[in-house]
Amino acid sequence: MLGVLLADARPGQRRPTVGEAADLVLSGLGTRLAAGLRGFRDRSWAEAAATVGLLGASLLLLHRLLRLTGPLIAGAYWPPPNGPAGPSVQLGLSVLTCLAVVIAAATGLRRTAAVLGWAVAIAQALTVVTYLPANPMAPSYAVWPVALGLVTAAALSVPAAGVVATRIIGGRGLVLFGVAAVAVLAAGVFRDATIVGTAFSWPGGLALYGRVFFVPDLLLYLVAGLCALLAVARVPGPVRRRMALILLPVPVAVLAADSWGAGFLDAQLGDVSYVSADRWVTMAMAPVLTFLIGVALLRRRERTLRLLALGRRADHPDWTAGRPDEGTDRGR
């Protein structure tokens, strides 16, 4: 590059022009970005994205189903006309859409799943944009479905020809995830039935983010979490690490929302200065930057492991075992 700049320099020119400097910077950044994007062509990324898409869509479906249990149980306990209103049409459509995303992702219809996934994520995001300023007390409870929906839709949009998430998870993994889903639904039904039937009289209730949990349903959630961890542990290591990176923006978004909620609690709820653009930018950029940093660290770790493996092979006295021609050459 220096040779080209010197050959192209005019008589007496001591430094590159602004256009030449800008061209160097943009070309360097483009080359670095292209080299970084080539790393995402690894099949492990496609398998991780397909698995996250299926699991994320399933979790969003569970979230919608849990929102259905409360009105249904309350309606059975307090029948009309004195009982509460039943589930809304919007919630019913959301459940059906999430179910369609799960079916499409499980059967390999990635484009259909991606289109429906983006529709679910955008609808949830529009709802939360209007919900957070009016309900700042529990922002993370409203933010995590949006973050998970966006991550799921993005994962389903990754090209993954020939990759089926159910094959990656395996039969036993699917059974474990099924048990976890049943435990989550049972916990939600028990909690809603306890609240409706006993009016918070169950001992050991725990208030968390504006919702009340009891010991039995907390135990069911613990069982669900253990089953999910066992199922994820059956996924190959490279895929599992990339799954963790793809899902990392979700807890980061929740933490950013919690910090936003803390700011609300320190001021009057009517103070509109807290509903500012910088807080929205923080919640949007923090997950993205965290993901990029995680990708860089993962690549560095895997590169180091490859170099260590090559070093062990080179230091091993029988590293050419099984190839007698090379062994004979080395002996000579």
Q: Position of tokens 């590059």?
A: 1
**Tokens found for residue 224:** 């669900």
Q: Is pLDDT above 70 for 97?
A: yes
pLDDT at res. 252? 86
Q: Across the chain, how many H-helices and E-strands are there?
A: 13, 2
pLDDT tens-digit series, residues 209-225: 556 667 777 888 889 99
Query: How far is the CA of 245 from the CAs of 87, 129, 220, in angstroms?
Result: 35, 26, 27
Over range 232-252, report the average pLDDT: 88
Q: Of 173-177, 201-205, 295-299, which has the strongest mean pLDDT? A: 173-177
pLDDT tens-digit series, residues 109-153: 888 889 999 998 888 888 776 655 555 554 556 778 888 999 999
pLDDT at res. 55? 92
Segment holding 212, helix H or strand E: strand 211-213
**Tokens found for residue 33:** 């970005």
Find all residues with CB under 8 Å of 38, minimum gap 6, and list them: none
Query: What share of residues in the chain are helix, strand, coil (percent, to 5)?
Result: 75, 0, 20
Q: Is pLDDT above 90 for 226?
A: yes
Residues facing 212 on adjacent strands: 207
* Identity at 317, one-letter amino acid code: P
